[in-house]
Structure 1
Amino acid sequence: MQTVVCIRWGTEYGADYVNRLHRAVLRNVARPTRFVAFTDPIDGLDPAIEARPIPAIHLPPGLKPGPWRKLALWAADAAGTLGGLDGDLLFLDLDILVTGALDPLFDHAPGKLVLVRNPTQGRRDGIGNSSVMRFRAGSAPHLVADFEADAVAMSHRFDNEQIYVTKASRLPVAFWPKPWCPSFKHGLLPPWPVYLFRPPVLPAEARVVVFTGHPRPDEALAGRWPAKWYKKFYRSLPPVPWVADHWR
């Protein structure tokens, strides 16, 4: 049984994001797969989704802004806090777009923490993007304990959650093959000003398209790129029709 997990808190992403992700996962797996959403609140989710409360993590005031609550997935008591989940977990952010088979993501680089190579960091830095991440449940509980011990300082030392996970997990790290998880903004958009009038092409090898910030999948589908007025001359794009095939 393969396990895919996601996490949602606050009001930035509605239940529809979780439901769409669930449907996309099921369309793109051939093996038996369970889908678990750690979410607060849990209303509005499809009944087939395994909805669970987000594991507790202490996040004091003063943290550098970022999705630090994702660290709760590394909780020490995987058999209890994560509700009995064990083995490899494939984590997917809510604002990604599943476009191809996911089963190979459970086979690549066995025994390692696997992430997207961060497109905004140099290759030599070895920093991962955790939008698409596979890890073994309970394999690095110190990530939570160490962060909670000095959370504010840690949040400024590591800048964001994915840098912290990459550098402090003490796990062997691998990256997805570049064609599997392209970045929409940093990998698929044509050069400026071409992308102002020509939509990007979806590569055949892509399995998960990573959206960071804006535009999100629904915005790309509609040809909207939310930005301040003085950035509109370069933050604009036409509708991207292939998003509709997968964002449903």
Structure 2
Amino acid sequence: MKWGTKYGPEYVNRLYAMVRRNLGGDFKFVCLTDDGNGISPEVTCLPIPQLTLNLAPGQRDGGWKKLTTFEKDLYGLRGTALFLDLDVVVVGSLDAFFEQPGEFLIIHDYPRPWRRERITGNSSVYRFEIGAHADILAYLRANLDKVQAQYRNEQAYLSDMLHKQGKLAYWPAEWCPSFKYHGIPTWPTNYWEEPFVPEGARVMVFHGECNPPDALAGRRNRAFRFIRPASWVAKYWKE
């Protein structure tokens, strides 16, 4: 899914190429977007379904638009869908994401002291049956102000609703590590050791302060947080 100007078409094209190299068999690669210019012809571009958000001036829309993937009739698409954020880097086989048992699977959000007991998932990578969770989107549309007041973001809302329905499950922890939390050497070794891909990783998740080109350049978006260039990114994040 791509909207706005933060990510260019190269993110879509590189994501498609990484999936093609790491997923066996035939698949349909779909990008829900407001601008298909520059996107590879191998990618099916479709409009983002309508979701009108009530945002204060300057307020980011976060990831709420991701929930439009749960439309009951999503342009006639059928089957099992694996959602991948545009800024992830695929570093291993994706086949197991379609084989893991569960009705709805998502990353268990990375443990921080204030999150230790929470159920919230990280929606950078999730799997679902198309059309199976239309109630999640329908309730949001009918109760937009209430939902946005109660939940910090779309993944908190999504996780809570599916947990209450007994449908929430998580990927094995090693499959989708965080670059920020798991791929940067601890201080002070970060000054002489490069960022790395943790063992067992299949998808490296970039969230918060650093995207793949930043990591490749050795650049973080917060002061006093040093990293060396992550040369491994060039090996995977390419067409």
Tell me the TM-score normalised to structure 1 length. Answer: 0.88
Alignment partner of 2:217 out of 213, 216, 222: 222
- Inter-partner Cα distance in structure 1 for 2:61 and 2:31: 23
Shift of 1:98: 0.3
1:97 and 2:89 matched: yes
Alignment-derived partner of residue 117 in structure 2: 124
SS at match of 2:97: helix
After superposition, the C-alpha distances for 1:195-245 in whole angstroms (9 at most, x for unaligned) are: 233222213421100110221111101101123xxxx22x22110111111
- Among all aligned residue pairs of Structure 1 and Structure 2, give the percentage whose two residues are the same amino acid: 39
Aligned to 1:195: 190
2:88 maps to 1:88: no
CA deviation digits over 1:27-75, x for unaligned, max 9?
1011212111111111110111111111112222347742211111111
Partner of 2:237: 247
Which AA in structure 1 matches 2:231?
P
Q: Distance in 2 between matches of 1:244 and 1:27?
A: 15
2:147 to 146, 154, 162: 154
CA contact (8 A) 2:70 2:130 kept: yes
Residue 135 in structure 1 maps to residue 128 in structure 2: yes
Amino acid at match of 1:190: P
- Aligned-partner Cα distance in 2 for 1:124–1:101: 30
1:151-190 equivalent positions in 2, closer than 5 A: 151-169=144-162, 170=165, 172-190=167-185
Structure 1 unaligned spans of 5+: 1-6
Q: 3-state DSSP class of the match of 1:90? A: strand
Per-residue deviation, residues 75-94 of structure 1 (Å, max 9, x unmatched): 12x2xxx2221221000000
Deviation at 1:171, TM superposition (A): 5.0
What are the ranges of 5 or more consecutive residues in structure 2 without an aligned counterpart? none
Q: State whether residues 11 and 86 of structure 2, in contact with CA within 8 Å, keep that contact through their aligned partners in structure 1.
A: yes
Count of matched residue pairs:
232
Contact 2:90 2:236 in 1 (8 A): yes
Aligned counterpart, 1:46: 40
Match of residue 228, structure 2, among 216, 219, 238: 238
The residue type paired with residue 164 of structure 1 is Y
Quote the residue 2:104 is aligned against: 113
- The residue number in structure 2 matching 1:4 is none
> Post-superposition shift, 1:123?
4.4
The worse-fitting range, judged by mean Cα deviation, of 59-68 and 29-38 is 59-68
SS at 1:116 equivalent: strand
Per the alignment, in what secondary structure is the counterpart of residue 33 of structure 1? coil
Supply the RMSD in Å over aligned alpha carbons. Answer: 1.6
Give the secondary-structure state (helix, strand or coil) at the position aligned to 1:91: strand
Contact kept? 2:184, 2:227, Cα under 8 Å: no
| SS of residue paired to 1:243 | helix
For the 8 Å contact 1:115–1:174, the answer to whether it is kept is yes
Secondary structure of the 2:86 match is: coil
Q: Identify the structure with the greater strand proportion.
A: 1
Q: TM-score, normalised by structure 2?
A: 0.91
1:73 to 2:69 alignment:
yes
Q: Which moved more, 1:11-20 or 1:58-67?
A: 58-67
Deviation at 1:133, TM superposition (A): 0.4
